[in-house]
Amino acid sequence: MDLKHYLQTNRSQIETALESLLPRPDAPPVRLNQAIRHSLMGGGKRLRPILVLASADAVGGDRSRLLPFACGMECLHTYSLIHDDLPAMDNDDYRRGRPTCHKQFDEATAILAGDALLTLAFELASRPIDGIDPEVVLTAVRQLAVDAGFAGMVGGQMLDLLAENRKVQLDELRIIHRMKTGALIRCACEAGARLGGGNPSQIEALKHYGAAIGLAFQITDDLLDVIGDSHLMGKATGKDQANAKATYPAIMGVPAAQSLASEQVQSALRCLEPFSSVADPLRNLARYIIERTN
Amino acid sequence: MDLKHYLQTNRSQIETALESLLPRPDAPPVRLNQAIRHSLMGGGKRLRPILVLASADAVGGDRSRLLPFACGMECLHTYSLIHDDLPAMDNDDYRRGRPTCHKQFDEATAILAGDALLTLAFELASRPIDGIDPEVVLTAVRQLAVDAGFAGMVGGQMLDLLAENRKVQLDELRIIHRMKTGALIRCACEAGARLGGGNPSQIEALKHYGAAIGLAFQITDDLLDVIGDSHLMGKATGKDQANAKATYPAIMGVPAAQSLASEQVQSALRCLEPFSSVADPLRNLARYIIERTN
């Protein structure tokens, strides 16, 4: 399979769905609407919704029925970027090569755009899915809330802020990233398997797959900050080092971090062994995650 | 019935439930945990969860099973206070007689505490309820997201910010408040009726009841800012006027605003006519909303 073409087709399917699920462009408050669209429709890999759809495919589910849930995960991811970029947090001016939400609009609008996207995520995630027991949908919504909240993404961002400017060991860094970026990536795979109608062992396998690629993804992000091209990345590189931020390459060195990322990809591939070629997109995605350049 | 005693008993039931539903006090990240508890466990009328429980009682539901959903609504309300108080928004230093979250901690922690509470709200709201069809719970979760989001509370806060320092007519003010404070109060009543097992006409009646008391509540809030006692309120009064903020008393004058609030209470009471004395707490709550002094 041609992964590049697969990703393009998926992105375009997700962006069409997002457009149809968002409030109409002229719906008031227009400023809030524009801020949401600025951040949500300004590019991005759409990794989390693609993982939802690819995981549903892997268990023989009907991906078209999962588009609202998948788009909800992208809304949730985008909210986290908007809030993380705020002056009180990481204070970033650019994201994906464009001004961050609070630079393009203002802080109050950016805070509210994030809040609106987080809330919209749950509106989309809690839509009924034809052929799927509502109890299963409810479980997926609850899991999404756990992985996005105190014990997941939000808690991880807090731990990350608390770790600034002090020495962090590898164990602590892994906890931070398991929560901050890992939880939502794992959740995307688990939810896709569950809402695609997978059986418990399939759901478990794709959850572990997601955990492994989530870690590989974060290590690669850190590596790209050290060795990446700021032009391709659409954001400043070398920032982690300038901020004395704990990263995998900073703690382990670049070669050991690269090895750890590769090991995680191997581990992710082993989780897919029980699956036929329907899981090939997930296999290719796992390899792509550490080979990407942005 | 003795409303004061009823409110006290309900508040204590809700606070016990909140304590049991929150992460344990020593669960990391401790700073985030403390910030959540500072804002959530620092008093408050608990109006929205009480409305959930009282509405469930009115349709003969089992209130104890609705405690997680009711607590979720209080988490959602508290998140909105934390974010509204931020320097970029209303820039308030005190709330319920205590420092606001960003004053007690810092802005980043306050943003994350709000995000965590909003997410926790959906975790609690999406728990299964014994004896209630999961499809009905899913509908309540989705309605909560609609009422809290772009077309509800968050959108209302944006409209409110955009209306600052310019002339606002009564029609526009009603739209702002229907979204900003009305939607969540209405949602509490509707969800309580739905999750308590009410029939469609009961759900509809309690939804209209909620819309009417929501407006009465907002008008009274505005009135208390003009004529209230800052000591009883636990926050500064006269702030709306100092900020040239559009309010009901500013647009209509105090007597007309008081009449409008009374009319809404009468309208709320009419919605309760089909209900027996089990709805007496809702009747008394409607009257209390405009008679309260804080």
Cβ separation of B138 and A133 shorter than 8 Å?
A: no
Facing A154 at nearest CB: one of B119, B128, B158: B119
The Cα–Cα gap between B176 and B198 comes to 29
Sort out which chain A residues have CB atoms less than 8 A from B155's CB and list them.
Answer: 28-29, 32, 116
pLDDT tens digits for range A46-77: 999 999 999 999 999 999 999 999 999 999 99
**DSSP conformational letter for A67:** H
A140 touching chain B per CB within 8 A: no
- Residues 6 or more apart whose Cβ sits within 8 Å of residue B78: B39, B40, B44, B117
pLDDT tens digits for range B14-54: 999 999 999 999 999 999 999 999 999 988 999 999 999 99
Sorted by where each starts, the structural domains of chain B and their CATH numbers stand as: 3-291 (1.10.600.10)
Q: Within 13 Å and on the Cβ side, how many CA atoms surround B102?
A: 22
* The two three-digit tokens of residue B226, written as one number: 């003009």
Q: What is the mean pLDDT of chain A?
A: 94
The Cα–Cα gap between B76 and B193 comes to 19
- Residues 6 or more apart whose Cβ sits within 8 Å of residue B242: none
| Phi (first) and psi of residue B281, to 5 degrees | -60, -40
Residue A235 in this model has a pLDDT that exceeds 70: no
What number is the average pLDDT over the span B137-147? Answer: 98
Q: How many Cβ pairs within 8 Å bridge chains A and B? A: 157
Residue A263 in this model has a pLDDT that exceeds 60: yes
The C-alpha R_g of chain B, in whole angstroms, comes to 18
Give the ipTM of the model, two decimals please: 0.96
Sort out which chain A residues have CB atoms less than 8 A from B138's CB and list them.
Answer: 126, 128, 134, 137-138, 141
Q: Residue B49: what pLDDT?
A: 98
- CA-based nearest residue to A213, from A57, A5, A51: A51
> B264: helix, coil or strand?
helix
CB B187 within 8 A of CB B242: no
pLDDT tens digits for range A98-125: 999 999 999 999 999 999 999 999 999 9
For tokens 């050290």, what's the residue?
A226
- CA-based nearest residue to A127, from A69, A51, A192, A196: A69
A66 touching chain B per CB within 8 A: no
Q: Mutate which of B112, B132, B159 to test chain A, going by most A C-beta atoms within 10 A?
A: B112
pLDDT tens digits for range B270-287: 999 999 999 999 999 999
pLDDT tens digits for range B56-88: 999 999 999 999 999 999 999 999 999 999 999
Render B162-183 in DSSP notation, one character per residue: HTTTS---HHHHHHHHIIIIIH
- Residues 6 or more apart whose Cβ sits within 8 Å of residue B44: B74, B78, B96
- CA-based nearest residue to A222, from A289, A150, A149, A151: A289
CB A132 within 8 A of CB A197: yes
* The two three-digit tokens of residue A83, written as one number: 């809030």
Residue B242 in this model has a pLDDT that exceeds 70: no
